Amino acid sequence: MAKEHFLIKSEPSVYPWDQLVADGRTMWDGVRNYEARNNLRAMKKGDLLLYYHSNEGKEIVGVAKVARTAYQDPKTDEDWSAVDVEPVKPLKKPVTLAQVKAHPLLSKMNLVKRSRISVVPVTAEEFKTVLALAGTKA
């Protein structure tokens, strides 16, 4: 079965890529938007994730993967979900939001179209294009 792709966002001052690498695995929780929650719930173990630094930096910096599928977010009793993620590899060159917006294919990404959503799907072609711009092999 083909892997799906998503993009997850974190402010580098809150949880930077380097922290995920140091931790080796983390719970991706705290999502409080229904669309983003549903995207978390759609993730399968092994799906690949683009890791985006939001607000500061505004660039895709790494590739992570889903290590555990959606489960109840332990920080709330309400109907919110979390997943576990693990780092796969850093991008050789970060791909900036400006590059994404300027690229004919990537300008249609959910990162641009659904900019307020912290977890969004990414097509296989978009994923491959980001890796090519980053000079990073899959």
List, for residues 84-127, the tens digit of each pLDDT value: 999 999 999 999 999 999 999 999 999 999 999 999 999 999 99
Question: Binning pLDDT at 50, 70 and 90, where does residue 1 land?
Answer: low
The mean per-residue pLDDT over the stretch 131-138 comes to 95
Does the pLDDT value for residue 2 go beyond 80?
no
Tell me 135's DSSP state.
T
Question: Binning pLDDT at 50, 70 and 90, where does residue 138 land?
Answer: confident
Task: Write phi, then psi, for 33 (nearest 5 degrees).
Answer: -135, 130
The mean per-residue pLDDT over the stretch 54-80 comes to 97
The mean per-residue pLDDT over the stretch 74-81 comes to 96
- The pTM of this model reads 0.96
- Domains for the chain: give ranges and CATH numbers: 5-134 (3.10.590.10)
Contact 51, 64 (CB under 8 A): yes
- What is the average pLDDT value for the chain, to the nearest integer? 97
Q: Which residue has the tokens 């090519």?
A: 132
Query: What's the CA gap between 48 and 5, in Å, rounded?
Result: 5
Candidates 118, 12, 86, 117; CA nearest to 56 is: 12
Please classify residue 81 by burial: count the beta carbons closer than 10 Å to its beta carbon, then call 0-12 exposed, 13-18 middle and 19+ buried: buried
Contact 94, 39 (CB under 8 A): no
CA-atom Rg of the chain in angstroms: 14
The mean per-residue pLDDT over the stretch 122-134 comes to 98
